[in-house]
Structure 1
């Protein structure tokens, strides 16, 4: 076989392997939001209490967030292909367990396992993209990845509503989990055939860090637990966990520095944070997801509880955001190498504009017609979301060495999960407080959306500041900086990395 004929086959195989990664990522992220509309069905068909329903939602988020960073590092050390297939298999099996659960306790247990499995899958996807693609192709692949993130997050309520309507309120909740099984099995079969067997580090110093895992896990747990249980845990004592979590993460930081000084590979290479693109990108991702996730949260509550929309109708109302976000992410992946951080600024501005449009639509068109009134603003916000998620992911990870791609992706996505939990806690508190004190659902929704917009504005300020700094000092970007020890060992993102124009 000639080189000319072998190369297209290799390229074709890489893009097919990307399809497997995106399918695994899709079903794991879909389960973040799809269960929200199935909670009443769980209450009716399984007798799930409010506490059980809370853990079905928050337990998944907790386990997901806790698994991300250690799973990313595990993939870096033992191979991302093996880690992805293991996580996908565990996720599929746990979905079967959730669907067959004979009681509320078993449902929560399998839901925790499902969340942990999703946390194993997520960093392998970004790591494999880093490893399989370079330069403009990598940006395009992250564009497809951004489309999947956007669609899976926004289409969950619609998919859940369709399944509940098709299978009834007593057993419809089971199919919210069963729907993952055929997709997961097909992805596993395709993954065994298509995912490349890429090399893993042979350096003996590359060992796992169990104490680092313990410190990071308990720190993240202490931060997330009071946030995801904000509505269920009454009183202020829960907030004591936040400084405890901050302290544990501080100890984790010191421990990782000690390991680095001793020549041992840490769980998270702290030198990554010397890369401005990684640090700023992670902060932008944290704050953006802190606002983005809450949009669907308060809109679903408002449409179903106050406008009397069905779960299906509420999902259809949010669908324009999902479709527009997928389109925006696809274009963002193609344009990010040309416009860099400026594209993220445009995307965040569009999201803010779209949210303002939704706030006005709710005010001007009360009642059942509100869904039609907010369609155009949701399209604008969706396009902005697509132009934010995909380009920001590309810019955040593009200078990360391939051998650290899994851990770096895990850190970034841990930030997303923490941001989402913080956003829902803050926006939910604003929404429920106004609803409880004044009983005006429209005003409560508007205040909630304005709070989400304020969180997204923080991300916009960070992006604008970074853009201005790069334009004022074009020679000071990461491409000309000397990374700390441990970051530059394989080059800035591997061979074929992005050109300086992507940083402008």
Structure 2
């Protein structure tokens, strides 16, 4: 296979000169490494703060509402800018947008670590979330630019491992930092730990990441669609706000934002279809006509609603119900991180051969692991529950790695490089929306059983797991339906159907 150096990324390949095994090939993988380090840092801050909240409350004398905004403000700002930032990278310079996001994220982390009061920390988290949203979609865009074929699957495998590890290892790392630096200042290092990473990553990223394509090659892709940005941003906020503020905004009036979100997002779809007639839209609706992309985005939305909520309720169960320290609670979740990291790397190598079947297998393992965790808590609900859930969480983590990585590869495999950033932004937005909705839904079931005078923490966790498992089951149905459609498409005689685009399995079958 002919490969491109980062300096030639985005240009037509020259088939006479292969860079495989050469310095250009090594440079691409080093460029991917710096992207993954930066992406890990931003995604880690979604989960690492959870175990630090008790010490943050004590250190800054924060209200419940302020604590909620420390979590939800980051998620809102992150989800708000993902798609526009991805489109900006496509239209202008992906490297410049990446470096800007990384620099701003590092600065925001410093501001959060130096916070002197509640308002300061909330604003810093909003800033930090927006900067993370600027950076993250560029990573999938660079993978589309730098890699092809089986190598792209391996690269997405590394990205999937990064996503899974960042989500699962956050509580452990947060607990370790608080243990090392003490409850008074440990929470500050949850944010300040990003500073040395960002300081090292910035110059390395500038040196390794490919520059923008010549302006002539980006002709037709420079429009930025400001009305589309406004409609999508307003719709995203209206959709997320009732869920991320559920514990603080008790009035049922908050649910009136959901029909408003539906109207705004419907207007966004209509506007994008109109705008696409003469310009390059913020999000091409033609992407959703490609079944692997539509199925992958839907699966991400539902799956992240299920698996992300597990960390939320398990951490609460261990710390509030069983009085685990932040460190021991983080250690109890580590088996999921280990299983996810290992299987994500394996999944990236196998997805080219197995396609959506690998995702189906992963979802089955996640279901088995979650249900076994609930059973373990039923049988051993005392202080040793961290040991009894070790095996089930390892199985669930192994399954999760086989879901996130292959789904990422299969979803983005047919996306043109010129739309890689915005398409990746849509996928990431689906993940963030799913996480917010899942935490709200599963959390409401959990809190309903721990709010009285005699809270039943074990039952609350089991019921929360049951709801999360139901969401994972729904994701399994989506994956199974897509795999059935793949097999039917494979039976169609060559030339009578399909798009002619490789499906990522090493052949030309459509619909993978």
CA shift for structure 1 position 206: 2.9
Partner of 1:44: 58
Say if 1:173 and 1:37 are closer, same or farther in 2 by CA, change over 3 A: same
1:441 paired with 2:457, answer yes
Partner of 2:164: 150
**TM-score (normalised: structure 1):** 0.94
1:178 paired with 2:196, answer no
Compute the RMSD of aligned alpha carbons. 2.1
1:230 paired with 2:246, answer yes
Q: Does the CA-based 8 Å contact 1:400-1:492 persist in structure 2?
A: no
CA shift for structure 1 position 199: 1.2
Give 5+ residue unaligned stretches, structure 1: 484-490
C-alpha offsets along residues 83-114 of structure 1, whole Å, 9 cap, x if unaligned?
A: 11110000001001111122211111111010
Partner of 1:58: 72
Partner of 2:100: 86
- Aligned equivalents of 2:234 and 2:139: distance in 1? 25
Partner of 2:469: 453
- Aligned equivalents of 2:344 and 2:105: distance in 1? 26
Say if 1:150 and 1:134 are closer, same or farther in 2 by CA, change over 3 A: same
Q: 1:408 aligns with which of 404, 411, 423?
A: 423
Q: Does the CA-based 8 Å contact 1:349-1:384 persist in structure 2?
A: yes
- Aligned equivalents of 1:274 and 1:340: distance in 2? 19
Q: Does the CA-based 8 Å contact 1:275-1:478 persist in structure 2?
A: no
- Aligned equivalents of 2:142 and 2:61: distance in 1? 42
Say if 1:6 and 1:139 are closer, same or farther in 2 by CA, change over 3 A: closer
- Aligned equivalents of 1:462 and 1:27: distance in 2? 30
Partner of 1:269: 284
1:257 paired with 2:273, answer yes
Say if 1:498 and 1:365 are closer, same or farther in 2 by CA, change over 3 A: same
1:500 paired with 2:503, answer no
Partner of 2:43: 29
Q: Does the CA-based 8 Å contact 1:155-1:315 persist in structure 2?
A: yes
Q: Does the CA-based 8 Å contact 1:402-1:493 persist in structure 2?
A: no
SS of 1:434's equivalent? coil
C-alpha offsets along residues 201-259 of structure 1, whole Å, 9 cap, x if unaligned?
A: 43156311111000000000000001000111012110000110011000011111111
Say if 1:480 and 1:374 are closer, same or farther in 2 by CA, change over 3 A: farther
Give 5+ residue unaligned stretches, structure 2: 1-15
Q: Does the CA-based 8 Å contact 1:340-1:503 persist in structure 2?
A: no
- Aligned equivalents of 2:493 and 2:263: distance in 1? 32
- Aligned equivalents of 1:292 and 1:4: distance in 2? 42
- Aligned equivalents of 2:505 and 2:476: distance in 1? 26
Q: Does the CA-based 8 Å contact 2:355-2:505 persist in structure 1?
A: no
1:202 paired with 2:218, answer yes
- Aligned equivalents of 2:20 and 2:462: distance in 1? 57
Partner of 2:231: 215
- Aligned equivalents of 2:370 and 2:492: distance in 1? 35
The farther-off stretch of 199-208 and 27-36 is 199-208
Q: 1:339 aligns with which of 351, 354, 358?
A: 354
CA shift for structure 1 position 6: 8.3
Partner of 1:357: 372
**TM-score (normalised: structure 2):** 0.93
